Amino acid sequence: MSTIDLVASIALVAGALMSLLAGIAVLRFPDAMSRIHAATKPQVLGIMLLMLGVGLRLGSPAVIGVLVLIVVLQFVTAPVSAHLTVRVAYRHATDDQNSADSADGAAALPSTGTDRPAAGDAVTVDDEPAADDGPVQMAQALADENALGNPDVDPDADR
Amino acid sequence: MTVTLLVAGILFAGGAGCAAVRLVRGPTQIDRAVALDVLLAILVGVIVLLAAVSGSSITLVIAVVVSLLGFIGSAGLAKLLPRDRR
């Protein structure tokens, strides 16, 4: 085994290790956004290491052109898709926090099946002051929620 | 190269297994979309690894197509997901 093959093998195994780390992180991380953060690693760094390994192993110019094409495509598309997914996850997270104050939101929350500890903590923390509040504060909180919720809804209606 | 194939294949299989578990029991649809994204990245890695070990570059075209398909699927899911929540 020559030196180039050895370097190619190390790059291939390192790229595979990135995929294993992403899989473990997607399985173990508690939140959707941290899962997305970990899932972007094999798409950019892992693919780059694997392409380095294949380019060192095969080495013809046509193959290197295809490999550079794959790497450039991943570099362009992986942040865009991660951004789109994170935007949806962020809106769902803020929806959970906003609707945790109202009664129907608290009733609708278990049906979504979120077993994240952050969402459960937010519900229990938000329920206690709501029980102590008088009607004036409740109305004020509802008005705040509507004022907060409308700019969130409007860009959605445009699309 | 056989040792490389074995070690990298085991690592890929572990990552794909973890992502598949998250795909089956994701609490929200977003987690399933993320797990599918990771699975497609691992699929591209496996195709590229097989091309490197076997020494033939024919399967690299499939890797290009799968990486583009992963972007299209993820972007489409991100567009479609807010509709079924509200």
Residue A98 has pLDDT above 60, yes or no: yes
- Regarding predicted confidence, which is higher, A128 or B41? B41
Q: Are residues A33 and A70 in the same domain?
A: yes
Query: Of A10, A44, A78, which residue constitutes the final position of a domain?
Result: A78
Q: Is residue A65 part of a domain?
A: yes
User: What pLDDT shows up at residue A103?
Assistant: 44
Specify which of A153-157, B8-12, B55-59 reaches the highest per-range mean pLDDT.
B8-12
User: What pLDDT shows up at residue B1?
Assistant: 78
Q: Is residue A47 part of a domain?
A: yes
**What total number of domains does chain B contain?**
1
For A60, phi then psi, to 5°, come to -85, 155
Residue A107 has pLDDT above 60, yes or no: no
Q: Hey, what are B4's tokens?
A: 């490389």
Range of the domain at B47: 2-84
Find the residue in A nearest to B67 (Cα).
A74
Q: What is the pLDDT of residues A27-62, one digit of tens each?
A: 998 888 888 888 888 788 999 999 999 999 888 888
Q: Are residues A61 and A130 in the same domain?
A: no
Average predicted confidence (pLDDT) for chain A: 74
**What total number of domains does chain A contain?**
2
Going by C-alpha positions, the residue among A33, A88, A43 that lies closest to residue B39 is A43
Which of the four pLDDT bands, split at 50, 70 and 90, describes residue B55?
confident
Query: H-helix or E-strand containing B86?
Result: none
CA dist A124 and A122 (Å) reads 6
Specify which of A47-61, A85-99, A133-147 reaches the highest per-range mean pLDDT.
A47-61
Mutate to test the interface with B, among A13, A20, A83 (most CBs of B within 10 A): A20
Residues 41..60 of A with a Cβ closer than 8 Å to B: which?
42-43, 46-47, 50-51, 53-54, 57-58, 60
Using the Cβ of A68 and the Cβ atoms of chain B, whether some distance falls under 8 Å is answered with: no
Q: Which DSSP symbol is given to B28?
A: S
Q: Please indicate whether, in this complex, the C-beta atoms of B19 and A22 are within 8 angstroms of each other.
A: yes
Q: Are residues A54 and A115 in the same domain?
A: no
A103 CA to centre of own chain: 28
Range of the domain at A2: 1-78
Q: Are residues A57 and A112 in the same domain?
A: no
Residue B16 has pLDDT above 90, yes or no: yes
Mean pLDDT of A74-85: 89
Q: How far from A14 is each of A47, A52, B41, B79, CA to CA, in Å?
A: 10, 11, 14, 33
> How many angstroms separate the CA of residue B41 from the nearest CA in chain A?
6
- Regarding predicted confidence, which is higher, A122 or A54? A54
Q: Are residues A72 and A4 in the same domain?
A: yes
Mutate to test the interface with A, among B4, B10, B43 (most CBs of A within 10 A): B4
